[in-house]
Amino acid sequence: MRALLDTSVLVAALVRSHPESDRCRSWLAKVRNGEADLVMAAHSLAELHVVLTTLPVKPRISPRTALRLSEENGLRPTPTGLADVVALTAEDYVAVIEAAAERSLAGGILYDALIAKAAEKAGVDALVTLNAKHFRRAWPAGLDRVREP
């Protein structure tokens, strides 16, 4: 199974104090055990770093620690990384923005639509997120693939 893990799932999996950590860590375990192939949107590489370094946790997660957490968990596009990182083209961005405008989607849901486009482009079996409602709005063609951990 190819599974794109949304940033919300990745953050919860990496931060043990997160209330959804256990559920989300199980998805990283599936990847490590070979039960699932991990797909990440290229956008999520930056988003994960931003969220980790701005979480209201004590002690704060430093940029170096955020990078280390990502690397240790294979969330980098390297030969030793677990993730298949999918980048969007300029044409993909334009198509997502046009589709969002046609469906009157405004605000931050556009970021979810971009991640959904990466999931679609990668041909994933599942887009795993803690924000399923948002992704179902952003990706109506993928309703059957959006799931919670």
**Taking the domains of the chain in order of start, what are their residue ranges?**
2-147
Pick the CATH number of 2-147 from 3.40.50.1010, 2.60.40.1120, 3.40.50.300, 1.20.1260.10: 3.40.50.1010
Report whether 1 contacts 112 (CB < 8 A). Answer: no
Distances (CA, A) of 47 to 10, 36, 51, 98, 99: 10, 22, 6, 23, 22
| pLDDT recorded at residue 123 | 97
| pLDDT recorded at residue 75 | 82
CA gap 11, 13 in Å, rounded: 5
| pLDDT recorded at residue 80 | 59
pLDDT per 10-residue tile (average), the chain, 149 residues: 95 94 93 90 93 94 93 72 88 97 95 97 97 95 96
CA gap 50, 125 in Å, rounded: 27
Longest Cα–Cα distance of the chain, Å, equals 44
Give the residue carrying structure tokens 């849901």.
Answer: 109
Which pair of structure tokens corresponds to residue 23?
A: 């559920």
| pLDDT recorded at residue 71 | 86
